Amino acid sequence: MNMPSYPTVRLTPKGDARAIRHGFPWVYANELVTDRRTRGLTAGALAVLEDANRVPLGLVTVNPASKIICRMIDRDTEAVIDTAWFAAKLTRALIHRERIYDAPFYRLVHAEADGLPGVVIDRFGDTAVIQPNAAWADALIEPLCDALVQVTGVTTVVMNASGRARSLEGLDDRMGILRGDAPTAAIPVPMNGATYMADLMGGQKTGLFFDQRPNHAFAASLSRGARVLDMFSHVGGFGLAALAGGAASVLAVDGSEPALALADQGAAAMGVSDKFTTRKGDAFDTLAALAEEGAQFDLVVCDPPAFAPNKSSLEAGLRAYERIARLAATLVADGGYLMVCSCSHAADLTRFRNASARGIGRAGRRSQVIQTGFAGPDHPLLPHLAESGYLKAVTFRL
């Protein structure tokens, strides 16, 4: 068998070879010798990464157009990245998910943490949705797709190639069907006793957010007989879980009419439409309006989009988290609960929790933290990469 012949790229003397050896998966553009030959590599090309002394560190993918110019893909510099290689990675990922969940609805691949940098795969029964958020995954989408079908037995594979991560890689947005037929209707997803309707072709991201599953479950445990407000509800994430937990009523608020329509479908599938109400509107305006109406809830959940997606937006994002907590706290009945969530990796847990606590204090309320939650175990965290542990959920009792 002929061994592959890969080009080489090399760290500068300031490049952190020790971090790479210890498991950090990225090389930034200012850490790499970017001569004409390196700049001429095709986005997504494979190369052997060497330290400044030309000692090999492993096999990387290279994208000269990205600030993350290299992503570690295999410690073996002679690895062949083909269908069999992908199948081995996917099998390892699948074994973990099948141990945890009794139904095939989960995140199957969580990018770097599952050894496939920039690749997200969510599974919805016989359908899988791939987000190739790095150039190498775009280039090798066919062997990846072949391995996915081979390992999982899914019959439909959707590619949802869109979002900020792709633009940072210099990639365009694309949507398509790689295998099988396009889903013609929303797919019902059972989770925590609730039923969610996932629009895999027109919804946000891959159609549903699996990461909040354990936090949905905790909110449900607080919901028996409760009046619940689910802000930034999307397709009913926390609200439907609360109804499965015995909530007396749920008001779901979101800015997207199609998302709220899917939430209504989920409530109907559960037989709880009589307890479920939706309201379309801007979250900040709606919270203020509810306060003017004198509304009170036993549990309020705020799960906004990332207010601080990067370091440059951190301070503005923390102010937004503080404001949302202040507005929401006024709606919580005495002895009730406020859960606030952040998917901003730039805002670490301490700063996010402190911003939320300031907001609660500014609303004239006292609080105690009763629980801190993170993404579920189908979203593993790579210890060397803080960005892989982006989700935080903090629950206060007021």
User: Do 187 and 124 meet the contact criterion of CB atoms below 8 Å apart?
Assistant: yes
| Residue burial 322-341, b: 16+ Cβ < 10 Å; e: rest | bbbbbbbbbbbeeebbbbbb
Spatial distance between the Cα atoms of 315 and 237, rounded to a whole number of angstroms: 28
User: Do 104 and 133 meet the contact criterion of CB atoms below 8 Å apart?
Assistant: no
Which ranges in the chain belong to alpha helices (H)? Answer: 17-22, 36-39, 83-100, 135-139, 141-152, 164-168, 213-221, 237-244, 257-270, 283-292, 314-329, 349-362
Q: What share of the chain is helix, strand, coil (3-state, %, to 5)?
A: 35, 30, 35
Contacts of 88 (CB under 8 A, 6+ apart): none
**Residue whose C-alpha is closest to residue 210's, from 228, 229, 187, 226:** 187
Active site residues: 343
Written as six digits, the tokens of 350 are 């301490």
Q: Across the strands, what pairs with 160?
A: 175
- Provide DSSP, 318-374: HHHHHHHHHHHHTTEEEEEEEEEEE--TTS-HHHHHHHHHHHHHHTT---EEEEEE-
- Provide DSSP, 61-77: EE-TTSSEEEEEEES-T
